[in-house]
Amino acid sequence: MLYGIDVGVIAGALPYLEATSGLGPGRISMIVAAVLLGSVIATLFAGLLADWLGRKTVLIISGALFVASIPIIAMSHGYTPLLLGRLLQGGSAGLIGVAGPLYLAECLTPANRGRGTAVFQWMLTLGIVASAIIAMYFSARVAQVAALHDAASLLAFKNVAWRSIFWITLIPGAMFMAGCFFVTESPRWLVNKGRLDRARAALLKSRRPADADLELAEMRALARHARPARGSQPLPAKRESLLKRRYVIPFILACVILACNQATGINSIIGYNTAILIQAGLNDVQAHWGYLIFTMLNFLMTMAGVMLVDKIGRKKLLSIGCAGIVVSLLCTAILFQQAQRGRIDCRRAVAALVSPDQSLNLRFTSALASKWQQQRGGTHETKVNRPDTFTIIYSYGAFTGTTNTVRSGGDRISKVKITRAASIPANRVIAFFQNPLASLALARTAKLKIDHAWLTPIPSRFHGVLTALALLVFIAFYAAGPGVCVWLALSELMPTRIRSSGMSIALLINQSVSTLIAALFLPTVGRYGYAMAFFIFAGCTVVYFLTAAFMLPETKHKTLEEIEELFRQGR
């Protein structure tokens, strides 16, 4: 559940954070991606820590990181504290992502391993639903303040709103950390450490004495087979190279599945869900309602996947889910492609407004939008009260940025501001992650270049509803298929002797892909539009489908040793 809060909390807070923080989209994008970057860093060490300290201790550490991150974020007044707090949240998620499935795989029996491990994803979706409910409450409060037509009060409350959203998540974080102290340690880890009495006591928490003794004997035999014991105490299992033939195929297969799982765009679609729906034609409140329904359907369909995974099998469920995702992503891309047909590029007009200090401060109104339409020979309606969205893609040297998407309509005035300080990285470390090939020194003196200035008619509300329905179909198939099966693939495919280190490497690849997508999502959307992003996600999911349908073995009702034997025999 805490992992789900890690992923979902930013979606509700993002619109208010953008409006009040004064940060450019490049930095906002890095704040969104920071939780994934922190997860990547933590995943590097999660397997080693889980083997050294134990699964339970790692879970406690992850809870402590999350609890520490909340006051750093909620009390921040600048980019660096926000980034640091989100990195800590990512570290928490990275530790949970390894230790949670690892613990479940080592504790559950083959008969209930599918349902039991799938509960990890089910509770993750519950965390996302909880985040959406919190965001929905503050969205309604913001709408009430907006009805007062007091711009200063509205801005002040938006600042309170995003901070309060993070403060509330401190409660489940503290509950998680406290609850971890009551969890028994993994019996398999205890056997490998030679603590047989504690291992048997842990098994007795969920098994009959005879079953516990039998399973304990199997664990001891496996430990002795890995490395002969000295005396009466079994020694830790010897680690074997991941490059051995019997390990390479399942290891690579697990890595491909985890990478493709992120390449569906799931985290970006969750993180930017309200922004996507607003751009599709819904207003702020409608978009937040859409996001709430989105997360609730994610939760319900995950429950369906939990019930089906041990009945129809992992392979079939994953294949069906990927097929549905491809169709829904293509529909979403086509809808946005239709909406983008009327947009025009006003970069020359905007470039003429750049000030001598290489910054831009623009007041965007319907009248200005209408003027630009007429200058470009716009063929569709150019009435002053016609709503449009406006986005600028710009660059200082090799560092590209995208402004927040603003709306016109009626007497609405939206400000678009670009400054060098808010657009280029604060230091070389951040610069490397943002663009490893760019020169920060050159960007500090380069002129402001307006690459594109997109003026796009806002689609109708009906178009927004169709887009929301397509995204609901996406999350339904994802939740019942890949959302459930990905954790099983991670824990079941990895052979016993390399499971912790192999899971860390596979999750590192998973989170690296997720971080890359999150960091590039806004710039890609700003330059090419949402249609291109969804077409790319659909193409990646086709690869996912082919892998699941033709390469993944069925592991339903098989023990971990039986699954390992399949790969050893080349089957």
3-state secondary structure at position 87: helix
User: Which helix H or strand E contains 30, and what residues bound it?
Assistant: helix 25-53
> For the segment 195-246, what is each residue's pLDDT rounded down to a tens digit?
888 888 888 887 788 878 887 887 777 666 555 444 444 444 445 555 666 7
Average of per-residue pLDDT across 75-83:
87
pLDDT exceeds 70 at position 559: no
- C-alpha to C-alpha distance for 267 and 252, rounded to whole angstroms: 22
Measured from the Cβ of residue 451, the count of other Cβ atoms closer than 10 Å reads 16
Q: Among positive and negative, which fits the CA dihedral 267, 271, 274, 280?
A: negative
Taking CA 423 as the corner, what is the angle to CA 422 and CA 425, rounded to the nearest 5 degrees?
95
> What percent of the chain is predicted at pLDDT more than 70?
86
239 alpha carbon, distance to own chain's centre? 31
**Mean pLDDT, residues 545-566:** 78
Check residue 108 and give left, alpha or beta (phi > 0: left; psi -120 to 50: alpha): beta
Distance CA 22, CA 5 (A): 25
Tell me the pLDDT tens digit for each residue of 292-307: 899 889 888 988 888 8
Q: Residue 569: its pLDDT value, please?
A: 67
Helices marked H in 309-395: 314-339, 347-351, 366-375
In tens, the pLDDT along 354-401 reads 999 999 998 888 888 888 877 766 544 444 455 777 888 888 988 887
Q: What is the rounded average pLDDT of the residues 123-149?
A: 83
| Residue ranges of domains in the chain | 2-184+242-339+463-568, 343-459
Question: What letter represents residue 310's amino acid?
Answer: D
Interstrand relation of 388-396 and 406-407 (parallel, antiparallel or unpaired) = antiparallel
| Residue 110 scores a pLDDT above 70 | no
Kind and range of the H or E run holding 248: helix 245-263
**Is residue 389 within 8 Å of residue 279, measured between CB atoms?**
yes
**Greater model confidence, 161 or 25:** 161
9 band by pLDDT with thresholds 50, 70 and 90: confident
CATH fold for domain 2-184+242-339+463-568: Growth Hormone; Chain: A; (1.20.1250)
Question: How does the average pLDDT of the chain come out, rounded?
Answer: 81
Give the pLDDT score at 230: 45
